[in-house]
Amino acid sequence: MSTQAEVDYADEEPSEQAVHDYLAAHPDFFENHPNLLNSLHLPHATGGAISLVERQISVLRQKDLKLEKQLKELIGVARANDLLSAKIHELTMQLLSAHDLKTTVIALEEGMRSGFSADQAVLVVFGDPKAFDDIDAGRFFRVIEKDAEALSPFKTFLGGSSARCGQIRDAQRDFLFKEDAGEIGSTALVPLINDTEIGFLAIGSSDANRFHPGMSIDFLTRLGDLVAGALRRY
């Protein structure tokens, strides 16, 4: 009589990935086994243990807090945009009421200083300085030939078509803000029409983080278009 050798089969525990895949493929598993769900306990940061249900509630609470934070940030951005829109509207009305280039420049300077809280602002217009002798707007209004050597530090910016924000080179800061250059922490350079056809507007802030490369330039682009449109009337 022959006997067949019995084969011992070792019980292999399923891998974590296999358990993960099974549960992912059977989302109703714990609904079919509620007692198991209530008996599972997970380690907690306090050193104790909590049930799986409590852990899920904790995760959902954290998600709610994250969503609440994102919502507050979005509301803050929306309020800031509303404020900027109101300032743009006010500046537009001031420019529409200006009857010549001189009053237009004065309105721009006032708008930059009071409406937009600029620590320093300079409007650079390309042209013959002698043609603008009748306009006295202090350091805010600067007329210069576009090919002047003094503008060489701005060559890259003038060759582009979009606003630039952040810290600028010493030569650029000195040209724009002169003796107040050391007080400027960040600057926005805004072209007037594509390729800075008319000139550009420089807005300086003592806050190094006020203007930075990662910020949206949509508002600055609209401001540049508005200023260019006002100047082109004359």
- pLDDT tens digits along 99-134: 899 999 999 999 888 878 789 999 999 998 888 887
CA 19 → CA 23, 35, 141, 186, 201, distances in Å?
A: 6, 18, 72, 55, 63
Asked whether residue 7 carries a pLDDT value surpassing 60, the answer given is no
Asked whether residue 189 carries a pLDDT value surpassing 90, the answer given is yes
User: Could you tell me the pLDDT band of residue 157, with boundaries at 50, 70 and 90?
Assistant: very high
* Between 48 and 157, residue with greater pLDDT: 157
CB-count burial class (<10 Å; 0-12, 13-18, 19+) for 26 = exposed
Query: Which has the minimum average pLDDT: 54-68, 130-144, 145-159, 170-184?
Result: 54-68
Mean pLDDT of 191-212: 88
State percent of the chain over pLDDT 70.
Answer: 83
Q: Given the structure tokens 């250059």, which residue do they identify?
A: 181
Neighbour tally for 102: CB within 10 Å: 16
Q: Residue 143 forms beta bridges with which residues?
A: 125
Each residue's pLDDT tens digit, 21-72: 887 888 777 777 767 766 666 666 555 555 566 666 776 788 888 888 888 8
Q: Are 191 and 168 in contact (CB under 8 A)?
A: no
CB-count burial class (<10 Å; 0-12, 13-18, 19+) for 86 = exposed
Three-class DSSP category at 69: helix
Distance between the two ends of the chain, CA-based, in angstroms?
A: 118
Neighbour tally for 123: CB within 10 Å: 25
CA 216 → CA 108, 163, 166, distances in Å?
A: 22, 10, 12
pLDDT of 200 reads 95
- Domain residue spans of the chain: 16-97, 99-231
Each residue's pLDDT tens digit, 218-227: 889 999 999 9
Report the predicted TM-score, pTM, of the whole model to 2 decimal places.
0.67
Superfamily for the 99-231 domain? GAF domain (3.30.450.40)
